[in-house]
Amino acid sequence: MVDAGAQQNPRRDRFTSKSQAAARYVAQRGILKPVAWSTVKVTIVGARQLRSLPKSFVVIANHSSHLDAPLIMGSLPRKQARYLAAGAAADYFFDVWWRRGLTALFFNAFPVDRSGVNPRSISARSLLERGVPLLVFPEGTRSKDGRMGHFKPGAASLAIASGVPCVPVALVGAGIAHPRGSSWPKPGRLPVGVVFGAPMLPEEGETAAEFTARIRAEIVKLHDAHAPRILGPSPEAVPGTDDPSPEGERP
């Protein structure tokens, strides 16, 4: 379980600093969100149900585009987005100083070691114990074909060990609007959706693999339920990938 005392008196660094959180809010809501929202047409569903979340939680989403993290951070209620830290590949986002600085500024990012051999990686569990919520893409990398891939169990295992809820998020159409390999979203402000599901907790005796499968199934369900209304008729829309959602809450 996350220690209550650690949440009340967290060690102050860039992940929990109030001044850096304020600067990040300006960067996210004053720069990143307006730029992202100017390139795509965003529909947000289910954000209101997240306002009573505890301080620590894990956001788990499908991953197909560089738009994914900006969409989630721009769609969450301010309270939940303020200290949210996004896991980012250490071998890419932390390999050069300028990319490391930008990911820290805009995403409060922490390095995720995909090789499994870097002892300097920051402990995600320690962040949760200090009251820092996390954003994790359990596929590990962006989808190459738009289809939702296999979910690694690390995020679910982390939530079980820390006793925090997981928030399933279905990203709809992001891989169509800004596919892997492209340097910028397609012109025309294509529709995308951010669909938040109800917070989930592991069931008694449920393993990390079983909890992961249940979270993935919920994300697929959210995606398929909302994609037709968000995307509209489209020959590019592939069920169960990265394209569904209805008109719901808007920014």
Can you say whether the dihedral through the CA atoms of 156, 159, 162, 163 is positive or negative?
A: negative
pLDDT for res 243 = 37
Q: What is the pLDDT of residue 111?
A: 76
Going by pLDDT thresholds of 50, 70 and 90, the confidence category of residue 91 is low
Contact, 251 vs 42, CB < 8 A?
A: yes
**In a domain? residue 213:** yes
Q: How confident is residue 236, by pLDDT bands cut at 50, 70 and 90?
A: very low
- How sure is the predictor about 99, in pLDDT bands with cuts at 50, 70 and 90? confident
Chain segment 9-19, per-residue pLDDT in tens:
546 788 999 99
Question: Position of tokens 């301080």?
Answer: 55
pLDDT band at 112 (very low <50, low <70, confident <90, very high): confident
Q: pLDDT (tens digit, 9 = 90+) per residue, 23-46? A: 999 999 999 999 999 999 999 999
- Residue 242: pLDDT above 90? no
- How many domains in the chain? 1
- Looking from the CA of 131 toward its CB, the CA atoms found within 13 Å total 19
Each residue's pLDDT tens digit, 43-67: 999 999 998 999 999 999 999 999 9
Give me the percent of the chain exceeding a pLDDT of 70. 80
Question: What is the rounded CA–CA span in Å between residue 87 and residue 148?
Answer: 18
- Give the pLDDT of residue 249: 36
In a domain, residue 241? The reply is: no
- Is residue 138 one of the residues assigned to a domain? yes
Does any domain span residue 249? Answer: no
Mean pLDDT of the chain: 85
**Is the model more confident about 123 or about 172?**
172
Does residue 246 lie in a domain region?
no
Contact indicator for 69, 61 with CB cutoff of 8 Å: no
And the tokens for 197?
Answer: 């599901």
Query: 3-32: string of b/e by CB count within 10 Å (b at 16+)?
Result: eeeebeebeeebbbeeebbeebeeebeeeb
pLDDT at 98: 67
Among 50, 38, 25, which Cα is nearest to 169's? 50
Q: What sign has the CA pseudo-torsion 140, 142, 144, 146?
A: positive
User: Which residue has better confidence, 235 or 71?
Assistant: 71
**In whole angstroms, what is the distance from residue 33 CA to residue 176 CA?**
19
Core vs surface per residue 121-145: b (16+ CB within 10 A) or e: bbebbebbbbbbbbbbbbbbebbee
Tallying the residues shown for the chain, one arrives at 251
Residue 27 lies in a domain: yes
235 falls in which pLDDT band (50, 70, 90)?
Answer: very low
Q: Is the pTM of this model over 0.85?
A: no
Cα–Cα distance, 86 to 68 (Å, whole number): 11
Q: CATH no. for residue 217? A: 3.40.1130.10
The average pLDDT across 100-117 equals 74
Nearest CA to 231 among 248, 217, 247?
247
Q: What is the CA radius of gyration of the chain?
A: 17
With a cut of 50, say whether residue 247 has pLDDT above it: no
Q: Which two tokens stand for residue 23?
A: 């600067």
Quote the domain boundaries for residue 210.
4-231
Which one has a higher pLDDT value, 222 or 99? Answer: 222
Which of 104-108, 117-121, 138-142, 194-198 is modeled with the greatest confidence? Answer: 194-198
Residue 44 near residue 194, CB atoms below 8 Å: yes
In a domain, 198, yes or no: yes
